[in-house]
Amino acid sequence: MIGKIKGKLIDIEGNKGLIETASGLSYEVFLVPTIIKNNILGKSLELFTQFIVREDSQTLYGFTDKEQINIFKMLLSISGIGPKVAFGVISFSSPGDLTTAIKNNDIDFFTRVPGLGKKSALKIVVELSGKIESGFSLSKIYMSEEDKLVLDALVSLGFKTEEARKIMINIPKNLSVEEKIKKGLQLGTTKKKKV
């Protein structure tokens, strides 16, 4: 999997850029508008990428930060939402605007995205609104495989799912799975004693 690319932007055609790496390899990447707008040809840049393989294509999508790529992955998890539509949603809006639109059930916000009809817009709002609570940002909703293991472990140790999610917000990201579980138990026990 190609997760990150560092190199020079040597060509732009529409919303695709050609990134030349230090090794001499060049990658054709779909770029969000902010990258195209802010990066002039010949300038070095670092992208978070998602590699999508289909029967008839292999496509690389480039993002400015982890929050954007996490939103992209969340959108892809919704049935009927493909990479082009998910990429269009991210290209059209900022993570903050997206969160607000979901919290406000603003279907019109999503129907303004090219290629996204009312039915799909409604699906996005319904499926993602259930995951957003006050105090949760989109970046916190997306969980890595490691975090899912930690969450499952905390639930199996007696915590309710929502309780475990709230505990996980305070667990440092740089710990191993085992360390995260131990830290989660400490935080959860401390919280219960206070109550």
- The answer, yes or no, to whether residue 110 has pLDDT greater than 80, is yes
- 195: confidence class by pLDDT, cuts 50, 70, 90: very low
What's residue 151's pLDDT? 83
- The answer, yes or no, to whether residue 137 has pLDDT greater than 60, is no
- Residue located via tokens 């289909």: 54
29 contacts: CB under 8 Å, gap ≥ 6:
5, 16, 17, 18, 19, 47, 49, 60, 61, 62
* Encoded amino acid at 92, one letter: F
Question: Residue 111, exposed/middle/buried by CB under 10 A (0-12, 13-18, 19+)?
Answer: middle
What's residue 34's pLDDT? 83
Q: Strands (DSSP E) along the chain, which ranges?
A: 4-13, 16-21, 26-31, 44-54, 57-63
Mean pLDDT value of segment 102-126: 85
What's residue 160's pLDDT? 83
Query: Token digits for 100?
Result: 């607000």
Per-residue pLDDT of 14-53, as tens digits, reads 889 899 999 888 999 999 888 888 767 888 889 999 998 8
- Residue located via tokens 């975090």: 147
What's residue 176's pLDDT? 86
Mean pLDDT value of segment 117-138: 71
- The answer, yes or no, to whether residue 115 has pLDDT greater than 50, is yes
- 134: confidence class by pLDDT, cuts 50, 70, 90: very low
What's residue 19's pLDDT? 92
Query: Token digits for 3?
Result: 């997760």
Segment among 22-36, 54-68, 139-153, 157-171 with least mean pLDDT: 139-153
- The answer, yes or no, to whether residue 74 has pLDDT greater than 90, is no
Report all structural domains of the chain as residue ranges with CATH numbers, in order of start. Answer: 4-63 (2.40.50.140), 66-137 (1.10.150.20), 143-194 (1.10.8)
